[in-house]
């Protein structure tokens, strides 16, 4: 399947920026899967491109107008199917000028990435929030495994809700800390958009972070959308 990321980004103004188009390459090796297994480049719920795996190896090339957050998803049987719910064998990335190398002995969840400065920023942010995400998963699992007596106990429910609310706050603060420290990074702009969807932020908190962003980021369609 050959699709141009540029066209997809134009349909997603939140993520497109009015810049000179650049070329990108995503290549590497994920396990040893071959056809019909495929790897997809996905933005949100929209597949942007794909490649058939050959002994785990793949290459995806395209063009874009701005660095953009996306996901890689491997499907053993080839068909992407629904993007709703949890998907295994996936990884979040940033498309940017140049080449992103992906290597893993088995799945994307265990992959190592070597890319440009935007992907490096993305990996730093992911490392910062990973412990918080792990605690969220553990707390949710605790709630799902609750006994009937625990589910009927208001104190248990209140404790779980309080823990999740605290973790939500920790996630917001970790993202905001990254934005404050990296006002020139496309990852910061994406993080502010993500936090707006995660939990509607207070203007007093976000406005100074937005104003500190570089002129390039604020002038982009994504930056103008965030200001509105």
For residue 41, the domain's CATH number is: 2.60.40.10
Burial of 204: CB neighbours in 10 Å, binned 0-12, 13-18, 19+: exposed
Local confidence band at 8 (pLDDT 50, 70, 90 cut-offs): very low
CA atoms of 212 and 1, how far apart (whole Å): 40
Helix (H, G, I), strand (E, B) or coil at 29: strand
Distance of alpha carbon 134 from its chain centroid, rounded? 16
Print the domain residue range for 183: 120-227
- CA distance linking residue 94 with residue 67, whole number of Å: 7
pTM: 0.85
Q: Where does a domain end: 66, 97, 114?
A: 114
HSE-CB at 157 with a 13 A cutoff on CA atoms is 6
Considering the domain architecture, whether residues 104 and 124 belong to the same structural domain is answered as no
Domain match, 107 and 124 both = no
Cβ pair 92, 126 in contact under 8 A: yes
Same domain, 127 and 98: no
Q: What is the pLDDT of residues 77-117, one digit of tens each?
A: 999 877 655 667 999 999 999 999 999 999 999 999 999 99
For residues 94 and 129, state if they share a domain: no
| 4 Cβ contact list (under 8 Å, min separation 6) | 62, 63
| pLDDT tens string 29-88 | 999 999 999 999 999 888 999 999 999 999 999 999 899 999 999 999 999 877 655 667
Q: 140-152, pLDDT tens digit by residue?
A: 999 999 999 999 9
- Cα–chain center distance at 196: 14
Q: At which of 94, 114, 134 does a domain end?
A: 114
Per-chain mean pLDDT for the chain: 88
Last residue of a domain, one of 92, 114, 136: 114
Q: Is the pLDDT score of 17 beyond 60?
A: no
Residues 136 and 68 in one domain: no
143 and 98: one domain? no
**Do 54 and 107 belong to one domain?**
yes
| Structural domains counted in the chain | 2
């Amino acid at each position: 399947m050959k699709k141009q990321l540029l066209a997809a980004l134009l349909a997603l103004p939140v993520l497109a920026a009015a810049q000179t188009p650049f070329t990108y390459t995503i290549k590497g090796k994920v396990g040893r899967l071959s056809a019909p297994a495929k790897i997809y480049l996905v933005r949100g719920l929209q597949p942007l491109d794909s490649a058939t795996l050959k002994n785990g190896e793949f290459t995806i090339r395209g063009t874009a107008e701005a660095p953009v957050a996306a996901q890689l998803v491997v499907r053993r049987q080839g068909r992407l199917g629904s993007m709703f719910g949890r998907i295994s064998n996936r990884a979040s990335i940033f498309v940017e000028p140049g080449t992103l190398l992906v290597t893993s002995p088995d799945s994307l969840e265990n992959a190592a990435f070597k890319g440009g400065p935007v992907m490096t920023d993305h990996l730093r942010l992911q490392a910062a929030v990973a412990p918080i995400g792990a605690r969220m998963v553990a707390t949710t699992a605790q709630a799902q495994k609750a006994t009937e007596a625990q589910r009927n106990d208001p104190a248990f429910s209140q404790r779980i809700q309080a823990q999740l609310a605290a973790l939500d706050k920790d996630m917001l603060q970790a993202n905001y800390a990254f934005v404050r420290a990296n006002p020139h990074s496309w990852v910061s702009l994406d993080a502010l958009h993500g936090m707006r969807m995660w939990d509607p932020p207070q203007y007093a908190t976000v406005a100074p972070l937005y104003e500190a962003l570089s002129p390039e980021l604020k002038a982009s369609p994504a930056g103008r959308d965030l200001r509105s």
